[in-house]
Copies of this chain bind each other. A is one copy, B any other.
Amino acid sequence: MTGRIVISVDAMGGDRGPAAVVAGLVHSADKNPEIAFILHGDEAVLRPMIDRHATLSGRCAIRHATGVVTMHDKPSQVMRHGQDTSMWSCIDSLRKGEAQAAVSCGNTGALMAISMIRLRKLPGVNRPAIACLWPSRNPGGFNVMLDVGADVKADPEDLVQFALMGATYARNGLNLSRPRLGLLNVGTEEHKGRTELRQAAELMSAAADPGGYEFMGFVEGGDIPGDRVDVIVTDGFTGNVALKTGEGTAKLIADFLRDAFNANVLSKIAALLALGSLRRLQKRIDPRRVNGGVFLGLNGTVVKSHGSADDTGVSSAIKLAFQLAKQGFQDRVAARLAAAMEAADEAAQTAGQTPDQTAGQSEPETGKAAPPKTSEQENGGQA
């Protein structure tokens, strides 16, 4: 597998079983000669599936694992007793450096729990986050939102780290040099919303330069699919509710649309005539195309695919993992966090040691940071 980028894939735990996962692998391998896999799960089941596809020959190792994490397993249980599972094995390949990124369709809570204890958090990170891509009016077609469910809480300091990590993800995943970033609230005016969000907004504004993003202030739910910002920052409770509400609404409308075209003979003929356009529409809002929540803030890139992903969905999660691995995303997030922390430290020191120089022009108590300190390797022609 020399020279290829290796993705560690959990074959079990998705709603459709290993067949859908292997079909996704085949899809990706056909399209991308640079990719190789380590597949984790029951070898007796996986071996014949792999051997059937010539395209996977020499590009897919199997790591035997008997246990399977189900959707109903509690994360705390899996953390204690999940060592024999395919999910654990999948993350361990990443930890050992055998693979450059990991993909699983399994239980989100368990995957995060295993990732936390095996990979550990990046220095300075308090809460990891899950970032998703969201269809939007922006030219690239997608926005980034985080956290969408790693944790139900987030302090102002956590939200600033989400901002730094989300901006780096947008630079690498959406190829934006200076992403515009908004903090989710119930109103865009400064006096609205929860007190802790006003505090977070100040911190995020101060960290904009070292973080390499443009802070646009508060945004509302309607901006998540909009073009005012590229990155939407929120806590994991609100983000998860918003994500699922958006998905549910899109699905409801798609079903209503299907009903509308099945209503009568004329509408059925219309559907035939508009087939090409409707397919393009479907592609634009197809959740399988944006399949993959990325875990941020860990020592390793983990992509969580939808539990119900089919081959197209699995393949798109693999593609995302591949892109991030190829761009050295992991090092970039770490560098950006380190630079921002350094800038904040310097600002605090400047404020503490030479108050006369800053008095009247900066606000050291809000953690206002030093001038930009961008990481050189970031956006280094890997567009």
Residues in chain A within 8 A of chain B (CB atoms): 72, 74, 109, 135-137, 149, 152-153, 184, 186-187, 189, 191-194, 220-226, 234, 236-238, 240-253, 255-257, 259-261, 263-264, 266-267, 269-274, 276-278, 280-281, 284-285
For the complex formed, measure the closest distance between the CB of A64 and the CB atoms of chain B, giving whole angstroms.
30
A187 to B272, CA, bound (A): 40
- B245 near A260: Cβ-Cβ < 8 Å: no
For the complex formed, measure the closest distance between the CB of A4 and the CB atoms of chain B, giving whole angstroms.
37
Which residues of the partner chain B approach A278 to less than 8 Å between Cβ atoms? 260
- B221 near A245: Cβ-Cβ < 8 Å: yes
A315 to B127, CA, bound (A): 48
Which residues of the partner chain B approach A149 to less than 8 Å between Cβ atoms? 186
A278 to B278, CA, bound (A): 13
Nearest to A136 among chain B residues (CB) is B252
Taking A256-B285, A269-B273 as contacts, is the C-beta distance between A245 and B242 under 8 angstroms? yes
Nearest to A264 among chain B residues (CB) is B277
6 sampled A-B residue pairs with Cβ under 8 A: A193-B237, A222-B247, A225-B245, A225-B249, A267-B274, A273-B273
Which residues of the partner chain B approach A223 to less than 8 Å between Cβ atoms? 248
- B248 near A225: Cβ-Cβ < 8 Å: yes
- A248 near B260: Cβ-Cβ < 8 Å: no
Task: Pick the contact of A284: B187, B249, B256, B261 (CB < 8 A).
Answer: B256
